[in-house]
A and B are shown apart, each in its own frame.
Chain A
Amino acid sequence: GIQVEQSPPDLILQEGANSTLRCNFSDSVNNLQWFHQNPWGQLINLFYIPSGTKQNGRLSATTVATERYSLLYISSSQTTDSGVYFCAVEGTTDSWGKLQFGAGTQVVVTP
């Protein structure tokens, strides 16, 4: 199946800093999503972005499908941005519905 690698595994930021999280995948995809899991375990869908660029407030994401990677940008980070960020993909050869999750990037934003 498709492989998903996220980097870095851990990130410590001071409040106000900017950061970039990366998701590499091993094959062509027709579905790519970014999620944020807060410290209480709740998972929120941030972006559905199989290609192109999207922005939502201080967060933005870019997927370059031809080069098999996606980037999540966090600008002016806040303590509420802490948690784990997951990238999930569905390969073009998989049956739909089988999103494969990466191991995540643990982000800690300090005041």
Chain B
Amino acid sequence: DGGITQSPKYLFRKEGQNVTLSCEQNLNHDAMYWYRQDPGQGLRLIYYSQIVNDFQKGDIAEGYSVSREKKESFPLTVTSAQKNPTAFYLCASSMGYNSPLHFGNGTRLTVT
């Protein structure tokens, strides 16, 4: 079955450590996205990539980094510079311009 796989589902880290969240899709979508969701709030865009080897900052990119070396993979690194990293992180993909967005099941990151 085609879909978007995020791993792990839950992640716990100590403050000061970098952590990488995995996102893989087998939908053959060109575009991939990372969103952050805080409790009771909407989604905010962290980074997005319209094509392999290219990505753009979203609204809250500070303290995060990404890479897009393969079409199917778009990992997100939460660095120690991110002041409030505890959140629900959602990866999404789409075929491209003006096409429906599809989400993975998310990773809940807790940093203590």
Contact = CB atoms under 8 A, between A and B. Distances in A.
26 contacts: A33-B101, A35-B103, A41-B105, A43-B92, A45-B102, A45-B103, A86-B42, A88-B43, A88-B101, A90-B98, A95-B56, A96-B96, A96-B98, A97-B31, A97-B33, A97-B48, A97-B94, A97-B97, A98-B45, A98-B48, A98-B58, A99-B45, A99-B101, A101-B43, A102-B42, A104-B42
Nearest to A49: B100
Nearest to A47: B100
Given A33-B101, A102-B42, A103-B41, A41 B48 contact: no
A41 B106 contact: yes
Nearest to A95: B56
A98 B92 CA distance: 12
A42 B88 CA distance: 11
A48 B106 CA distance: 21
Contact of B42 (A1, A41, A44, A103): A103
Contact of B105 (A42, A48, A90): A42
Contact of A50 (B48, B88, B94, B98): B98
B97 A33 contact: no
A7 interface: no
Interface of B: 31, 33, 35, 41-45, 48, 50, 56, 58-59, 88, 90, 92, 94, 96-103, 105-106, 108
A31 interface: yes
Contacts of A104: 42
Contacts of A33: 100-101
Interface in A57-107: 86, 88, 90, 95-99, 101-104
A14 interface: no
Contact of B97 (A96, A101, A102): A96
A86 B50 CA distance: 23
